[in-house]
A and B are shown apart, each in its own frame.
Chain A
Amino acid sequence: MAESTYTCIICPRSCRIAVSGMPGALEVSGHSCKRGHDYALAEHTHPVRTLTTTVAVEGSPLRRLAVRGTAPVPRELLRDCLKQVNAARVAAPLRMGDVVLANVCGTGVDVVASRDVPAS
């Protein structure tokens, strides 16, 4: 596998960290600390991202409800997950943490309301 480089986001130092080699025998270089090493390895093998977006709300002065995944999802599934969430509609009232969509794209991650939604 070719060498890939990652900008570390753990601290403001922003090290450029390279990961090379075959799975099982990956080599990491350019890091300044263990956390940077682990970050680059995770980015290389299974990058994950937190899903945040909005869904349409009915019966509330709010037009959109901010929602968030309860855990990060694999980065390559982020767009598919968003597509599924964007098709959802919710009715007010809702409480922060209420599940808007369970097990998005089979990831095991629930999408929940980020805030309360008052009814109109």
Chain B
Amino acid sequence: MRELTVDVAIIGGGPAGLAAALEVAHRGRSCAILERNTELGGILQQCIHDGFGLLRFGESVSGCTYAQRFIDQLEASRAEGARIEVLLDTMVLELTADRDVWATNPTDGMVHVQAGTVILAMGCRERTAAQVLLHGERPQGVITAGAAQRYINVEGYLPGTRAVILGSGDIGLIMARRMTLEGIEVEGVYEIMDHPGGLARNVVQCLDDYGIPLHLSHMVSRVHGKHRLEGVTVAARGADGSPVAGTERYVPCDLLVLAVGLIPENELSKQAGVELDPVTRGPVLDDTFMTSVPGIFASGNVSIVFDLVDYVSESGELAARGACDWLDAERPEEPAHLTVNASGNVGAHVPQRIQAGDTVRDVRFFCRVKQPAARVELRCTAEGEVLARERLVAVAPASMLSLTAQVPAGVSPTIEIVEV
């Protein structure tokens, strides 16, 4: 049994948790990172591909390198005396609204952390076969894109010889290329929507480069194989979501890779009584990234699924600042809040509300659009006045948008997309 008392307990040592820890240390406060895996870095460690860090480092690096740079900073910071405790192989079992964290690991047995504040940084999970209504049998060989990525990039195994990919999110596209280069034949990518789920960049460099077809408005209507996957039936998807008669086609394969979306992992948040937003599926946050439970903050993909890790790191820093400010203010009573409105094409967004203080607030907004659009302006408005604006040549649901606005005291801001 190990007892710890820290200013900030950070649950998760991926990009959000690492950035949060560094910011907490920068503010001279103590923190503990509780990480489930045996090393820091989170999912970045299996992302061997390029394209990370353009905003943060001004260059494109691999996921592993992005993580390593933060781990190096953390080690350097610790060497200079920063009070950052890292507990690896540590599974958090319980989180209370009073910021008691109960965890377990093979070295200490039970771990009890009494924290001044908590930053949730658990990331997200992939939607699994059980969550996408796949009809047919339940053979071996149906795995998520992230699992395929881990088998290939970390463990060094090839999980199949001929693959079908369901869903065209970025991880699915990245894995189409990765599997192809490792000798797995990728028959095609099937997407139920009428547009790709991932970025155009990945469609071009991961599919077009290798002649892998992308079938839009298509579905996997049946899974075949008693023990091992033998094939799938694919079909055009009708408006009612069922297969269009006469379009079914049998595709032999021993691997079905699912890239069908990510869901913030909020089991611990729910335990602590944190209110969740049905749109982001993460905690309802205010402009300090504090959840509905005072003293519990959230950052990274547990709060909203970001597209770029650079934003994940930034949100970790925002939550760390929020947590440190809250401690500096000696744990104020729960503040009054004003709703952040989203209008028109703006879908998922954080923060969902801002604190109703008596001063101007610098607010960093992150949002996604519902539909692709061209020549638009992203605006933050309040009481008929435009507080911040950014012109965008094009927007798409796959890309996160961000905007910083100075919101006057006592007004409720609106985030909107306007055609210009």
Contact = CB atoms under 8 A, between A and B. Distances in A.
B230 to A, nearest CB: 29
B211 to A, nearest CB: 13
Interface of B is mostly: helix
Contacts of A50: 50, 60
Nearest to A68: B62
B234 interface: no
Contacts of B205: 9, 49
Contacts of B38: 61
A56 B156 contact: yes
B395 A68 contact: no
Q: What interface size band does chain B fall in? A: 35 or more
Given A12-B395, A12-B396, A114-B48, A63 B60 contact: no
A64 B158 CA distance: 13
B156 A54 contact: yes
B64 A66 contact: yes
A44 interface: no
A14 B205 CA distance: 13
A31 B281 CA distance: 38
A64 to B, nearest CB: 5
Given A66-B62, A82-B181, A12 B394 contact: yes
A33 B393 CA distance: 10
Contact of B154 (A64, A68, A96): A64
A49 B202 CA distance: 12
A20 interface: no
Interface in A1-53: 6-9, 11-14, 32-33, 49-50, 52-53
B209 A12 contact: no
A7 B374 contact: no
A66 B209 contact: no
Contacts of B72: 96
B50 A53 contact: no
Interface string B222-249: 0000000000000000000000000000
Contact of A75 (B60, B62, B65, B209): B209
Nearest to B62: A114
A14 B373 CA distance: 11
B134 interface: no
A12 to B, nearest CB: 4
A56 B374 CA distance: 46
Contact of B153 (A13, A32, A54, A96): A54
Residue in A12, A14, A32 whose Cβ sees the most chain B Cβ within 10 Å: A12
B380 to A, nearest CB: 20
Residue in A8, A14, A68 whose Cβ sees the most chain B Cβ within 10 Å: A14
A63 B394 contact: no
Contacts of A6: 204
Contacts of A63: 154-156
A11 to B, nearest CB: 5
Given A12-B399, A14-B394, A53-B48, A7 B156 contact: no
Nearest to B67: A115
Contact of A54 (B48, B71, B372, B394): B48
Contacts of B64: 66, 114-115
B65 A68 contact: yes
Residue in A56, A67, A79, A96 whose Cβ sees the most chain B Cβ within 10 Å: A96
Nearest to A32: B393
Q: Which 9 A-B pairs have the closest CB atoms?
A: A13-B394, A66-B48, A9-B201, A14-B200, A115-B64, A114-B64, A12-B396, A50-B50, A12-B394
8 contacts: A12-B394, A13-B374, A54-B152, A64-B156, A67-B48, A68-B61, A68-B62, A82-B181
Interface of A: 6-9, 11-14, 32-33, 49-50, 52-54, 56, 61-64, 66-68, 75, 79, 82, 96, 114-116
Interface of B: 38, 45, 48-50, 60-65, 67-68, 71-72, 152-156, 181, 199-201, 203-205, 208-209, 372, 374, 393-396, 398-399
Given A12-B396, A54-B156, A114-B65, 15 more contacts: A7-B200, A7-B203, A9-B199, A11-B394, A12-B372, A12-B399, A13-B394, A14-B200, A32-B393, A68-B48, A68-B61, A115-B45, A115-B67, A116-B68, A116-B71
